[in-house]
Amino acid sequence: MRIVGHKKQWNFLRESFQKGRLTHAYLFTGPESIGKKRVAIEFAKLILCENSGDQPCNECQECYQIENLLHPDFLLIEPDHSVSRKISIEEIRLLKEKLSVTSSGKYKIAVVDNAHRLTQEAQSALLKLLEEPQGRKIIILVSEFPEVILSTIRSRTQLVHFHLVGEEEIESVLKSVSLTKKEKEILMLIGKGRPGVIYQYLNNKDLLKENEKFLEDLLELKKSPLFKRFQYAKTLKDSEKKEKVLSVWLAFLRKTLLEGSLNSNSLWNTQHLIKLIKLLENIIHLFSTTNINQRLALEIFFLEL
Ligand SMILES: [Zn+2]
């Protein structure tokens, strides 16, 4: 899979490698699903590739093994599948073990995706690891909420900030696949600036239908009495898909706000939309970073809807 956008960030990383200026720890930040993890994986390939030029070759054994998470010198850590989706201290112990095995002088690289989900314990262990002498080891932390990560960890990393990807680049991805007009519209809506979302949906077309359903739910709830909305809050709280549902709603409300001046039949006026968008943004942030009472938070949103 190629990187969509992020040319400036890629050039910075590539040059730091080519000029022998790699650092031991990086922190990739920026919005969700824009390709930060993808860049981290491609960067690992670039460093370990047998035929490395300005890009990894994607043909050698090193590239193949990294892409398929089989490489002995590469580790990808992600949150577990529990409801709280944490990264526990055991994962950091594993990382330490993996990076400490001495080999042929090659780099060892670990990527920690969604690093804001590291538990306090795990963060302390990671900090200790970063304080030790490093050798040829690189840890890349990836997070959309870096403020949740210990400042003592952050200060030991090279920060690389990523931004939403431009519309032209998203369109070029969509051009290369066959989709109905309706599917394209939904993808442009939910994938705005976020190639990760686009790829996720292209790999699973059923997800597109699911999204249509989430949007129908929102419009239905708008017309529903409060007890129905609260029932929905109760069900949604326990759903694995709650964060996805909320982000689809957020994308839809933002689009409605942008198009507001063109469409006088909107279900919400501008002030109301701005209020709902801010509320949803807060809820999504709190769901990811705290133990907030989720049902209550959803009920507050439905009260305002
Ligand atoms: Zn290669």
- Band of the pLDDT at 208, cuts 50, 70, 90? confident
- Tell me: the pLDDT tens digits for 52-67? 789 999 999 999 999 9
Domain count of the fold of the chain: 3
Q: How far is the CA of 35 from the centre of ligand 1 (A)?
A: 20
Q: Of all residues in the chain, what percent carry a pLDDT higher than 70? A: 96
pLDDT at 264: 58
What is the DSSP secondary structure assignment for residue 226, as one 8-state letter?
A: H
Are 218 and 119 within one domain? Answer: no
Q: How far is the CA of 160 from the centre of ligand 1 (A)?
A: 24
- Tell me: the pLDDT tens digits for 152-172? 999 999 999 999 999 888 888
- Band of the pLDDT at 207, cuts 50, 70, 90? confident
Are 116 and 11 within one domain? Answer: yes
Q: How far is the CA of 37 from the centre of ligand 1 (A)?
A: 18
Are 79 and 179 within one domain? Answer: no
**Does residue 117 have a pLDDT over 60?**
yes
Q: How far is the CA of 67 from the centre of ligand 1 (A)?
A: 10
Are 77 and 15 within one domain? Answer: yes
The model carries a pTM of: 0.77
Are 177 and 227 within one domain? Answer: no
Please name every residue paired with 27 in a beta bridge, in sequence order, or none if there are none.
141, 159
Are 232 and 300 within one domain? Answer: yes
Are 254 and 284 within one domain? Answer: yes
Q: How far is the CA of 296 from the centre of ligand 1 (A)?
A: 50
Burial class (CB within 10 angstroms; exposed 0-12, middle 13-18, buried 19+) of 224: middle
pLDDT at 103: 65
Q: Does 2 map to a domain?
A: no
Taking Cα atoms as reference points, which of 92, 80, 72, 76 lies closest to residue 42? 76
- Band of the pLDDT at 71, cuts 50, 70, 90? very high
Task: Compute the average pLDDT of residues 166-189.
Answer: 83
Q: What crossing angle do the helices spanning 270-289 and 294-304 adopt, rounded to 10°?
A: 170
Q: Does 145 map to a domain?
A: yes
Q: How far is the CA of 137 from the centre of ligand 1 (A)?
A: 19
Task: Compute the average pLDDT of residues 206-215.
Answer: 85
Are 128 and 213 within one domain? Answer: no
Contacts of 259 (CB under 8 A, 6+ apart): 266
**Does residue 116 have a pLDDT over 60?**
yes
| Calpha distance 235→242 (Å, rounded) | 9
Q: Which domain holds residue 112?
A: 7-161
pLDDT at 161: 98
Six-digit token string for 88: 């526990």
| Calpha distance 58→197 (Å, rounded) | 23
Please name every residue paired with 108 in a beta bridge, in sequence order, or none if there are none.
137
Q: What distances in angstroms separate CA 291 from CA 159, 284, 294, 296, 301, one per listed residue?
A: 27, 12, 8, 12, 17
Q: How far is the CA of 40 from the centre of ligand 1 (A)?
A: 15
Are 89 and 180 within one domain? Answer: no
| Calpha distance 157→27 (Å, rounded) | 6
The answer to whether 287 touches 243, Cβ cutoff 8 Å, is: yes
- Tell me: the pLDDT tens digits for 231-290? 999 999 999 889 889 988 998 898 888 776 556 567 888 889 999 999 999 999 898 888
Are 232 and 267 within one domain? Answer: yes
The answer to whether 269 touches 257, Cβ cutoff 8 Å, is: no
Q: How far is the CA of 167 from the centre of ligand 1 (A)?
A: 30
Q: Does 1 map to a domain?
A: no
- Tell me: the pLDDT tens digits for 80-107? 877 678 899 999 999 999 888 766 678 9
| Amino acid identity for residue 115 in this structure | A
| Mean pLDDT of the residues in the chain | 90
Q: Does 130 map to a domain?
A: yes
- Would strands 108-112 and 74-77 be described as parallel, antiparallel, or unpaired? parallel
Q: How far is the CA of 108 from the centre of ligand 1 (A)?
A: 16
Tokens 């279900």 sit at which residue? 267
Q: Does 221 map to a domain?
A: yes
Domain with residue 34: its CATH number is: 3.40.50.300
Are 121 and 228 within one domain? Answer: no
Q: How far is the CA of 55 from the centre of ligand 1 (A)?
A: 9
Are 278 and 185 within one domain? Answer: no
